Structure 1
Amino acid sequence: MKDLVADARTRVSTVSPADAMSAAGEGALILDVREPAELESNGRVAGALNVPRGILETRADESMPTAEASLVAQKSGGTVHVLCASGGRAALAADTLRGMGYEATIIEGGIQGWISAGLPVEG
C-alpha cells in the first residue's frame, strides 16, 4: 500500500485545505472518498461530494449509468480536490481520476489537515 501511494503521489500534486476551500468557491469540486460511516464519526466538508474510493471509477466514468453528474461535469475543465482521512486513499483516487482525464489534486493532510487548518466541518 505504501509503495502504491508513494507512486501515485509522484504524478499528482497537492493543495492546502485553505486553497481547496477557496477553489471550491470558484467552481472546483471537493471530493471526499471516505466511507459514509467515517463522515458521520469525523465530520464532513460542507458541499463536498462523497464517493467512497471503492466505487469511484463507476461514478467518474460518464458512460456508466451510475455516473455522478457533478463529478463528470468537472472533466470538461474543472478541478477535483480529493480528500480522505489522511491522504493515502486521496492519492490513489486522484491518480485514478488523472488517468481518466480529470485534473485532480490531493488535499494535504486529509480531513485532519482540514480541521487543523481551522476550516469548518459538519456533523
Structure 2
Amino acid sequence: MAKSMKDLVADARSRIEAISPADAHEAARSSDVILDVREPVELDSDGAIAGAIHIPRGLAEAQADPDTGKSNDALTAKRGGGGRVHVLCASGARAALAADSLRQMGYDTTVIEGGLEGWKKAGLALKD
C-alpha cells in the first residue's frame, strides 16, 4: 500500500521523541546541538537560531555520514553518544523525517515541538 507524506511523517514520529523549544534551547547550552533542516531561503526570510547547525533536509544524511567526504564535523561529533541532536524545521514534518533517518544512523535525536513557530512562541531568540 502506498504511503502519503503524512503517513511517512506519522511513522517517523512514532520512533522519535519530541522536546519543547525551551528544553532544546537549554540542552544546546551544554553538549547537545540544534539541527535546522530548513532551506537557506527560509533562514533568510523567517530567521535562524543562533548556534544551530543549518543543513537542508535533502543533505542531512550525507552530512551526517562521516564516510561521505561531505560530512559536517559539528554534527558527526554527536554520533554514537556525543550528545543529542534536536531537529527543527518550519512545522515539524521535515524535522521528523530527518530525525528518524539520523536515529537510524546512530544519532540520539528529538524533534523540537512546533518547529520555528514554536521556538518563536516560546520567546526564544533568533540570530541577529
Counterpart mapping for 1:1-123 below 5 A: 1-77=5-81, 78-123=83-128
| Amino acid aligned to 1:97 | L
- Alignment check: 8 A CA contact 2:37 2:57 kept: yes
Aligned counterparts of 2:39 and 2:78: Cα–Cα separation in 1: 22
Structure index of larger Rg:
2
Seq. identity, %: 58
Say which structure is richer in helix.
1
How many residue pairs get aligned? The number is 123
Question: Conserved in 1, the CA contact under 8 Å of 2:80 and 2:108?
Answer: no
Can you list the C-alpha shifts for 1:15-63, whole angstroms capped at 9, x where unaligned? 0000000000011010000000000000011000000000111100011
Which ranges of structure 1 fall in alignment gaps of 5 or more residues?
none
Q: Which portions of structure 1, spanning 4 or more consecutive aligned residues, are displaced by more than 2 angstroms?
A: none
- TM-score after normalising by structure 1: 0.98
- TM-score, normalised to structure 2's length? 0.94
